[in-house]
Structure 1
């Protein structure tokens, strides 16, 4: 590639997609299409499956289903001709008012990390590049754009909470990472040398590219030197062709441009997108029989809080009266608003609402009454076995942290032995002095049960390091 071609590749160009890596006609490269969303092919594209959101997926506690969901999402992206999927969203949902919580995998970094790992594996198995986002500290919507609030996070918290799921995504081989709108410790996330170069590329040994969130770039050379590889959607004048002059005047080295371009194109060749990748076609129906898997996913993520007098599962032979009430009992589309909004005034009833880049246009819906009128049948049960670890005092950790889980399916009366394996990292804490994960010496407490509640942790033990 010529220097001009390389510089041009560092910024997106207009296209029918949410974003587009520009083509290089001289080399026969037609460009790469980028499209949302974390739960399916989004931005209002038709003839696709709207899969359960991330928060629902996390509630499944089933790694096999996490992978299956991601793999089928990847299949639909590929068949549409999309090279890069803009997900998963793996921010830590610690703010209940964060409008993107539904996309992510909850507030536990370990659970989010396991979901991220399976998502990247499943999606990229289909030859589509995964883009974990929004890196890093993008935990609220308030002032995230115009004022770019600063997420001020200490070193230990960054490593043990906010960086944790991104680390698992990198270990899974993610080809791209999207940096966020906010600042991190007062510096814009998309030109933050500490988080992009220091943590992501050096500490985690990340070899893929860093792309900006849409409009999150605030400078050219500063962003490139800070670790940003490609600006989206482009057109700002910061990167792309504008970098050519910066190389000529010595502000930016050609070696850095080469690194940026290598990172941009490496996933394309690694996933063999240069070989028989489908052409972009928004009108191609890619749903197949994915509704069957979608139903399995929806069922697995539903949480039964109470089951008084064994009401469930429903038994069609029993003389019972079941009442379905509420404005949405017999309808599913009374208030669909893909745009979202700050208020819901003016509608007296029940609605479902989603918005933003994560929105996936549903092909159809099923109202609650129709779902419950389906033929009752006997079903096997399942239980989620969870492992929590209590650290020695040296680690300065909470009383218990999640470090393993497995969902097991059992027939009536069946028992099963479950083995949960921890990584070395899982029994380590971030040592701010040595700047590495360290296994503390002392007594570790192990709690195994069906939830984080102390009363549900029936099995307890310990080991000493």
Structure 2
């Protein structure tokens, strides 16, 4: 049936109900019209379809699926072809499991190393993020499944993520936080996109017309559906008016009644409703048709090998003193570390995958020509000291030629719903490392972590191989690199600072109260470190190889840059050539250099190749806040080719006339933004950049439905404060166990309104208002409203369901 005809045959009640989920993972179906349900599932690095009844909090186990390396890992490959191959495998597994919409990839910018969800995101750089996301999307959608890139937009912290306002200037929004999404949309053409929990400049992302209408649909030409993050709908009517198509997971029919009431009160037009319904109908009918041709199985072994290949190409060799790697055949090795026995291979949260199989270093060691003198855990994963384990490790280390030390961040450090308190690896792991080097100086560290860490201990290791969170086949991948079967070719997707205090958002992260001020502006990651000449541990784009590469013969034209790349070493290998662009003495403040292109090139030993990296519409642009459009500043641009942001091998110049007639800034009023020294921006200077006063993020004294449950320490009700203390106690106890309780974390950070959005219609907005009333000290009035709302909600739901049945 044609979509237009189907739309005409739907009643207004059906249309209103259609825009919210039927249950945790499915859309509503209407049998009389032949409209089926479609199924959504988490899984940016592996499918997480639950085996029992669906629940967003993950109480029920998920079906087995391939656990590929996380996005933060794959971004180190700088390989779009690999991204597309992984996307196709994810799409295939989704299709086999009857999943229509795969909720990923995640491509939020790594504003701070402390964001607990950084392991799910590609990079601190929007260009690299966008290119990798687009490749995933193309792969996923080649299998008849929609990708759903997330979280749109400016979602950079987990603390109070559903009740937090990201405050930033339009240029920073466009250049840093939206460019990755722009590339993903324009080059990947996703069928859906997920709006984020947070507000952006005072308006919730899911009802933000500037984001969803002006930019996403009108400027970028997005023609898919917008899906809320789970529980991320604030005002459903405003969301529909902004063009958000699907409210998830299952708010019940209270949301549908809100739409009907808004139509009556003319707060929503029938045209706005029909537009959202029509887009969702197209998606549902298209995906249902594609699902008829789906596969019934996939090769678990082939996908496992792909996961291994991905881990091999993404691992970063950070250090290799005296060419200790690759290990010579027959080397006597001691394998030490809890991660060798029980690997850290993925993060925690909604992306957690139940792997089809799982390799460990302990298991795979027997497959290599090495003499293993022993394997032991060495340290407690929980962080506690253990003298017996430590002595066993030191005895093993003393009897080996080389120690392979497996260490890194534990599960508690990297989880959805929880930001890291610091950048350090658990101290007991570092104390053991320092003790090992006293008995054996030949230590090769295998680092497992999904985000940057401080590395004051790096001198204890002769070699450091960073596998990030390498998925289910990562152990074999690490051994293939250690023994030289694979030449490492990963390059860092993010900067590794000397200390957290050196990072640009240090003083502004996380949010204070409800407002997160992005005072660092465009100076994120390497943009800040390179401009401010801040020394780092390892720069953005850094990565070693067992071979060497020479760059020569650069030539820049208006179309792009050409140069020669030669493998001058004795091993075949791949290099990531990176294009950076800068404009010295610019009139509009900007970073010293910005990534504008890259190419991963495999060369045999002694081979040379001419490499061409084209310029595109993003190479020279900046967002002019005065003219409200993309422009180019006139001047002589530096075109730089390097192996990382600090290792520039070739430079050329290119003069451009530019388009700017009206410059956006008065340098005298933005002195620190023009120097790049942005760690202590004053209120006055930030307000000049914003073009408006800084909003107040302080609570007024009364909580409202948009405040998080963790804010009940402000509550006037003693009972509410007691509930808060109990929840805080449970959260602390779960953290002490070393693995976060995701259910507690979700509830802790959830605003009161989320109770109405996450309970399948059992709780209405009226009941939530009663809860808030009780929390604010009006217990009996609040209880009266809750009880009255409960019975009113039951009656209204039954009446609505009868209408839907009788249509």
TM-score by length of 2: 0.52
Query: What does residue 500 of structure 2 align with?
Result: none
Deviation for aligned residue 1:367: 1.6
On the 8 A contact 1:197/1:227 being kept in 2, the answer is yes
Deviation for aligned residue 1:386: 0.6
Query: What does residue 573 of structure 2 align with?
Result: 381
Asked whether 1:12 is paired with 2:21, we answer yes
Secondary structure, counterpart of 2:358 in structure 1: coil
Deviation for aligned residue 1:64: 0.7
Equivalent-residue separation in structure 2 for 1:428 and 1:395 (angstroms): 11
Query: What does residue 325 of structure 1 align with?
Result: 336
Asked whether 1:300 is paired with 2:313, we answer yes
Q: Choose which of 387, 394, 398 in structure 1 pairs with 2:591.
A: 398
Query: What does residue 442 of structure 1 align with?
Result: 635
Cα distance change of structure 1 residues 416 and 373 upon mapping to structure 2, 3 Å threshold: farther
Secondary structure, counterpart of 2:581 in structure 1: strand
Gaps in structure 2 of 5+ consecutive residues:
1-6, 50-60, 369-482, 487-571, 657-807
Query: What does residue 362 of structure 1 align with?
Result: 355
Between Structure 1 and Structure 2, how many residues are aligned?
A: 435
Secondary structure, counterpart of 1:405 in structure 2: strand
Equivalent-residue separation in structure 2 for 1:186 and 1:35 (angstroms): 30
Q: Choose which of 97, 103, 116 in structure 2 pairs with 1:80.
A: 97
Deviation for aligned residue 1:197: 1.9
Query: What does residue 452 of structure 1 align with?
Result: 645
Equivalent-residue separation in structure 2 for 1:412 and 1:397 (angstroms): 39
Cα distance change of structure 1 residues 378 and 51 upon mapping to structure 2, 3 Å threshold: closer
- Which one has a bigger Cα radius of gyration? 2
Equivalent-residue separation in structure 2 for 1:196 and 1:433 (angstroms): 22
User: After superposition, where does 1:138-177 map in structure 2 within 5 Å?
Assistant: 138-145=155-162, 148-171=163-186, 172-177=188-193
Query: What does residue 339 of structure 1 align with?
Result: none
User: After superposition, where does 1:185-200 map in structure 2 within 5 Å?
Assistant: 185-200=201-216
Equivalent-residue separation in structure 1 for 2:19 and 2:616 (angstroms): 37
Query: What does residue 431 of structure 1 align with?
Result: 624
Secondary structure, counterpart of 1:386 in structure 2: strand
Deviation for aligned residue 1:261: 1.4
Deviations 1:136-157 (A, max 9, x none): 1110011113xx1110011000
Query: What does residue 520 of structure 2 align with?
Result: none
Secondary structure, counterpart of 1:107 in structure 2: coil
Deviations 1:343-394 (A, max 9, x none): xxxxxxxx66732111111222222244455345655311111110103513
Deviations 1:251-301 (A, max 9, x none): 32111111101222334455673561549x9xx676352111111001011
Q: Identify which range, 240-249 or 26-35, moves more after superposition.
A: 240-249
Gaps in structure 1 of 5+ consecutive residues:
334-350
Deviations 1:326-351 (A, max 9, x none): 2333x126xxxxxxxxxxxxxxxxx6
Equivalent-residue separation in structure 2 for 1:442 and 1:166 (angstroms): 28
Cα distance change of structure 1 residues 137 and 411 upon mapping to structure 2, 3 Å threshold: same
Equivalent-residue separation in structure 2 for 1:12 and 1:415 (angstroms): 55
Cα distance change of structure 1 residues 452 and 138 upon mapping to structure 2, 3 Å threshold: same
Q: Identify which range, 373-382 or 129-138, moves more after superposition.
A: 373-382
Q: Choose which of 252, 257, 260 in structure 2 pairs with 1:244.
A: 260
Query: What does residue 216 of structure 1 align with?
Result: 232
Query: What does residue 253 of structure 1 align with?
Result: 269
Q: Choose which of 440, 457, 461 in structure 1 pairs with 2:652.
A: 461
Deviation for aligned residue 1:427: 1.7
TM-score by length of 1: 0.88
On the 8 A contact 2:71/2:122 being kept in 1, the answer is yes
Q: Identify which range, 428-437 or 100-109, moves more after superposition.
A: 428-437
Query: What does residue 311 of structure 1 align with?
Result: 324
Q: Identify which range, 293-302 or 248-257, moves more after superposition.
A: 248-257
Equivalent-residue separation in structure 1 for 2:284 and 2:22 (angstroms): 18
Q: Choose which of 604, 612, 620 in structure 2 pairs with 1:411.
A: 604
Cα distance change of structure 1 residues 124 and 395 upon mapping to structure 2, 3 Å threshold: farther
Cα distance change of structure 1 residues 313 and 12 upon mapping to structure 2, 3 Å threshold: same
Cα distance change of structure 1 residues 373 and 417 upon mapping to structure 2, 3 Å threshold: farther
Cα distance change of structure 1 residues 403 and 298 upon mapping to structure 2, 3 Å threshold: same
Asked whether 1:229 is paired with 2:245, we answer yes
Query: What does residue 39 of structure 1 align with?
Result: 45
On the 8 A contact 1:48/1:286 being kept in 2, the answer is no
